Amino acid sequence: MTQKEIELILSRHLAEYLAMPIFIVDPGGDMVYYNESAEIILGFRYVETGAMPASEWSTIFNPVGLDGTPMEPEEHPLMIAIIEQHPAHKRFWIRGLDKNKRLLEVTAIPLIAQADRFLGAIAFFWEVPE
């Protein structure tokens, strides 16, 4: 296991104590954690999936736009926050690992520490009524 930046560790701890769904990725876009509230929406517990590379998490939930068009990984708000290092927001559909289709609102922000150290990104999301 590689050593993580303290701010990334603290972000994970914050996510553990919040009731809103949160998903955290490292600077390469690899998922390092999602909290219990996110587990309900994603359809699997974090302990069952563990960390995932960006190539896997950005496609495993079958994200599609509101028009039903499959989303490219780089269209995902978290990937925008990683690649372009600015906040991003989008509404889209996913299919959780429990096979349930859900409409989500996702807001992602880059995690930038002191001395402009780029640590990754964090997404806050919620399921919205159809």
Answer whether residue 58 is part of any domain.
yes
Answer whether residue 12 is part of any domain.
yes
CATH number for 21: 3.30.450.20
pLDDT, tens digit, 9 for 90 and up, residues 57-112 = 888 888 999 999 999 989 999 999 999 999 999 999 999 888 999 999 999 999 99
Contacts of 115 (CB under 8 A, 6+ apart): none
Answer whether residue 128 is part of any domain.
no
By DSSP bridging, strand 31-34 and strand 88-95 are unpaired
pLDDT at 19 over 80: yes
Q: Which domain holds residue 13?
A: 6-121
Domain count, the chain: 1
Helix (H, G, I), strand (E, B) or coil at 125: strand
Here the tokens at position 20 are: 């809103």
